[in-house]
Amino acid sequence: MRNRRGAYLLGALLLVGTNLCGLAIPWLLKLAIEALQAPAKAGYTPAQYGAMIAAAAVAQGIIRVFSRTTLLNAGRRIEYELREDLYAKLLTLDRTYFSNWRTGDILSRLANDLTNVRMLLGFGVLSLLNTVVIYTASLILLTRISPFLTLCSVLPFPIMILIVKQMSASMFRISKRTQEALARLTTRVEENVSAAAVVRAYCREDGEIESFGAVCDSYSEASMAMAKIRGLMLPVMAATGAIGTLVILFVGGNQVIRGELTLGGFVAFNGYLAMLVWPTIMFGWILNLVQRGAASMTRLSEILNALSQVVEPEQPVDPGHIKGEIEYRNLSFSYGSAEMLRGIDLKIARGARIGIVGVVGSGKSTLVRMIPRLFPVADGSLFIDGIDLNRLPITRIREAVGFVPQETFLFSRTIAENIGYGKPGATREEIERAAQIAGLSGDLTRFPQGLDTLVGERGVTLSGGQKQRVSIARALIKEPSILILDDPLSAVDADTEEEILSALSGYYGKRTVLIVSHRLSPLRNCDRIIVLEQGSIVEEGSHAELLDLGGRYAAIHREEQLKAEIERL
């Protein structure tokens, strides 16, 4: 849109050009036939008119190519820019959006809705301009040949418009019914597949097939009704166009006989009228495109207009390097209607090692996700090195944090690229060292191409534990001041856990380390352990202190010992 106004203007001009050439042909025909009938009065010979027609045709073709490519390319360009803008917007949105919108939904907007918008801006605009140009020019020329005949031949058009309007109303109704039937069919399939175990357990396969057949039937029926009305549309259009021809044949024929109209005029008139039929048929289609495109644009606007709550500070305070001191001051956080964190007060000195435990949903992951601003934080509730988090540039804090998320996400690239993702321009040695600390060395020797093994669908499928360790290495290579491990070892066995933890403790140094875990074993080396329950800190202290307290922590500890005993049996 923005910068494409020029392209559209040019496209419109080219369309006028190509259509003028096209419209000149029937006129030249008229002159040519008149020349044939009365050679004396003619300006040129029929052969010369033929040449003129050929020249007009060639010009029409050449300009046509440019007009179509100009307009359709403009549509594509806008699609490109929109897609770019949409993606750029997605890059800035915080976690709350991604939990509300499902990935499938976002992808479908970026694919289907964007296509609808492009169709509107490309073919839609092209056809609309074409229709306007042809209509205007044809009507002028028709009137010049014979005003009375023009009036006669456009008489059926209002009737056609009425019929089409009537039909599109019922078309809309039936199309809605068809969409609903399709939605039922889709639900039916989805339920059947999701509940495959239930269907089998109760031997309902045949019953399912039968009832699916019924759903398909009602969908077919609705589709047939749609086909019927579409089938009617075509002949109606064709017939109205042809009735125009009939009018000319009869009325125009009479005029020619009476000498009120030349035969050339008669033929040209026929030609122009034929030109009007197609744009008229297209008109219904254009309306449909406009409606669909507008609906889709609204859906895209929802993404484009989304406001991230995590934004760069207006007056940033940039301390340069972040040392890693963290302070929560009465921090609360609600997500939807659920209160995830309530009144958290916590001071973490530089270089401290903090463990965070609690049951699922106690808010332990949310607590650490606040630090790299994955979620919005209220002003004055979280401080890094004594600076309000909301005053720090976002890149500065994210640079300083090495985060290993609970749900491991790796890109479909090589292992080396995945680790190197943490530090652009990392050397091979750095990647190898990070892999080693994360306990990957042993696994790497078993992969076909070592560090250069491709991960994902087209490559090697890594085990849960291997993925976690690549994710750890990716955070380590960053050399962060603050290292956050969100349940990082849930998928590795006890021996590997031991190995990684001891390697990590050599790496910690002056870094502030936060480890979230639902088990206690990874928290062994922590100076202080926080126990969270329903978003609040309920216990706090060293391992020994918490055991003495005999509260939640001690209970978790007892459970783990029981589990360990069971394991040993």
User: Which of positions 149-208 make contact with other proteins (CB under 8 A)?
Assistant: 182, 185-187, 189-205, 207-208
CB nearer other proteins, residue 121 or residue 537: 121
Site for other proteins in 246-285 (CB under 8 A): 246, 249-250, 253-254, 256-257, 263, 266-267, 270-271, 274
* Cα dist from 450 to 304, 423, 424, 453, 456, whole Å: 42, 20, 20, 6, 15
521 is a site residue for other proteins (CB under 8 A): no
Residue type, 523: L
Amino acid at 51: A
Question: Which of 364, 474, 528, 543 touches other proteins by CB under 8 A?
Answer: 474
Q: Name the residue nearer to other proteins (CB basis): 114 or 444.
A: 114
Three-class DSSP category at 350 = coil
Q: Kindly give, in sequence order, each residue whose CB lies less than 8 Å from that of residue 116, ignoring residues fewer than 6 positions away.
A: 292, 293, 295, 296
Which of 38, 54, 311, 359 is in the footprint of other proteins by CB under 8 A? 54
Residue window 285-314: x/- pattern of binding to other proteins, with contact defined by CB under 8 A: ------------------------------
CB of 405 to other proteins, least distance (A): 6
Which of the stretches 34-42, 338-346, 434-442, 494-502 binds other proteins when contact is defined by CB under 8 A? 34-42
Of 23 and 537, which has the nearer Cβ to other proteins?
A: 23
Write down the least CB distance from residue 188 to other proteins, Å: 8
By CB under 8 A, tell whether 209 contacts other proteins: yes
Please name the amino acid found at residue 463. Answer: S
Q: Is residue 355 at the binding interface for other proteins, with CB under 8 A as the rule?
A: no
**CA 475, CA 438: separation in Å to the nearest integer?**
10
- 375 near other proteins, rule: CB under 8 A: no
**Which DSSP string corresponds to 85-119?**
HHHHHHHH--HHHHHHS-HHHHHHIIIIIHHHHHH
Q: Does 320 bind other proteins (CB under 8 A)?
A: no
Site track for other proteins across 389-428, x = CB under 8 A: ------x--xx-x-x-x---xxxxxx--x--xxx-xx---
Pairwise CA distance, residues 515 & 497, whole Å: 13
CB of 25 to other proteins, least distance (A): 5
Q: Among residues 61, 316, 343, 380, which is the contact residue for other proteins, using CB under 8 A?
A: 61
CA distance 418 to 412: 8
Question: Dihedral through CA 352, CA 357, CA 361, CA 366, nearest 10?
Answer: 10
**Footprint of other proteins on residues 65-94 (CB under 8 A)?**
65, 68-69, 72-73, 76-77, 79-80, 83-84, 87-88, 90-93
Q: How far is the CB of 210 from other proteins (least distance, A)?
A: 8
- Within positions 480 to 509, which residues make up the interface with other proteins, using CB under 8 A? none
CA 562 to the chain's CA centroid: 49
C-alpha span between 513 and 505 (Å, rounded): 10
What is the full DSSP assignment across 253-273? Answer: HHHHHHTSS-HHHHHHHHHHH
Residue from 106, 132, 346, 538 binding other proteins (CB under 8 A): 106
Q: Tell me if 115 contacts other proteins by CB under 8 A.
A: no
Question: Would you count residue 340 as binding other proteins (CB under 8 A)?
Answer: no
429 binds other proteins (CB under 8 A): no
Per the CB < 8 A criterion, the answer to whether 406 and 364 are in contact is no
Torsion region of 450: left, alpha or beta (phi above 0 gives left; psi -120 to 50 gives alpha): left
Strands in 230-318 per DSSP E: none
Pick 169 or 234: Cβ nearer other proteins: 234
> Cβ distance 520 to 556 under 8 Å?
yes
Give least dist CB 294 to other proteins, A.
23
Q: Residue 119: CB partners within 8 Å, gap ≥ 6?
A: 75, 289, 292, 293
How many chain residues interact with other proteins (CB under 8 A)?
141
From 365, 372, 374, select the one nearest 490 (Cα to Cα): 365
Could you tell me the smallest distance in angstroms from the CB atom of residue 423 to other proteins?
Answer: 9
Q: Establish if 336 lies at the interface with other proteins (CB under 8 A).
A: no
Taking CB under 8 A as the rule, does residue 338 contact other proteins?
Answer: no
Q: Which is nearer to other proteins, 112 or 330 (CB)?
A: 112
